[in-house]
Amino acid sequence: MWEKMYPKPRVRPTSADFDITILICLLREMIQKVQSPRGGFDHLPHKADTSAGACLAIIKHYRNFLAHPDQEKLRALSSTKFNDLFTQVGKAIQVLGNNQYSSKITVAKKLNIDNDIAQILEKIVTYEKQFQYLQEEVNRNSSQTRYQEKKIKELHEKYEEIENDRMEVKDSHQHVIDQMSEIRSNIKLQKEALEKRVKEQKQLAATQIKHGKQIQTLEQEASSMKKKQEDQRKDMKELTEKHFAITSHAEQLEKITSEHSQQLSESVEKTNKLAEMEQCIMRQFKPLDKNKKYKERK
């Protein structure tokens, strides 16, 4: 990490070279870590907590409050609130500095900040933001550099593999040529066989199409015959019904004819009887007619 932040040789950084954010980050992530307060380093701890971790969290919190100011909160910051804020930060500095900075804290509280100093402080805050941005850029560039170094190493390894493969290919070039010639011959034979098979497939497809048309024609004929059979069934049914009706009518006619024949026989018999009676009567009245004629002559 030192090499990335301070690439110049023989530069040994100290805590004076770091801002608050980097110092707290280093203290949190060192081998002998500062114990985190109950709420963590990212939240303001309880006032009664005077541990080193709580003091770092207080300084970090109010540093961010001033470095990233909210104009409404700054305008609403009263003297009482400012004194309370200054007291908490001063106590945290005293705890971390083993009470060595009391005089400096008092001087800082009584310091009269004119416009020039205010501008300087604003520039310092701006520089801190720029430094933080640059630090993030350095971290991103470091990650990219590591990634690129890794890629370069992978490319180098691939190049070596390709070079080895190229040497192997060069050694077996003639063998490959022979294989290619054999492959060309096989391809030619396979092509001829494939063309022949395609031709057979086309003929088979044409035959199948022809058979398909014949099957379609047969299906149409079968459908037509089926329709005709249905029509014939309907006709047979109608004929059966008519035959049944005719048979019934014939039976009725036969019955009527039989009755009429019987009546006719009876009529003929009666007619014959009447004829016989008429002949008998005529025979009886014939002598009378002769006598009547005889008398008329006289």
Segment 256-261 mean pLDDT: 82
Q: Assess if residue 182 is contained within a domain.
A: no
pLDDT band at 263 (very low <50, low <70, confident <90, very high): confident
CB atoms within 10 A of CB 129: 13
16 three-class SS:
helix
Q: Assess if residue 297 is contained within a domain.
A: no
Q: Are 17 and 23 in contact (CB under 8 A)?
A: no
R_g of the chain computed on alpha carbons: 67
Task: Say if pTM beats, i.e. exceeds, 0.85.
Answer: no
Q: Assess if residue 120 is contained within a domain.
A: yes
Q: Which two tokens stand for residue 74?
A: 């700054």
Q: Assess if residue 269 is contained within a domain.
A: no
Q: What is the pLDDT of residues 214-237, one digit of tens each?
A: 888 888 888 888 888 888 888 888
Task: State the total domains in the chain.
Answer: 1
Segment 248-260 mean pLDDT: 82
Q: Are 162 and 53 in contact (CB under 8 A)?
A: no
Q: Assess if residue 212 is contained within a domain.
A: no
Q: Assess if residue 153 is contained within a domain.
A: yes
Q: Assess if residue 106 is contained within a domain.
A: yes
Contacts of residue 92, defined as CB under 8 A and 6 or more positions apart, other chains included, come to 54, 55, 56, 58, 59
Lowest-confidence segment of 30-39, 82-91, 154-163 by average pLDDT: 30-39
pLDDT band at 63 (very low <50, low <70, confident <90, very high): confident
Distance (Å, whole) CA 62 – CA 252: 128
Query: What is the share, in percent, of the chain residues with pLDDT greater than 90?
Result: 0
Distance (Å, whole) CA 126 – CA 18: 15
Q: Look at the chain and count its residues.
A: 298
Q: Assess if residue 64 is contained within a domain.
A: yes
Its domain, for residue 27, covers: 2-168
Segment 87-115 mean pLDDT: 80
Contacts of residue 101, defined as CB under 8 A and 6 or more positions apart, other chains included, come to 93, 94
Q: Are 61 and 73 in contact (CB under 8 A)?
A: no
Task: Tell which wins on pLDDT, 107 or 125.
Answer: 107
Q: Which two tokens stand for residue 256?
A: 């009527």
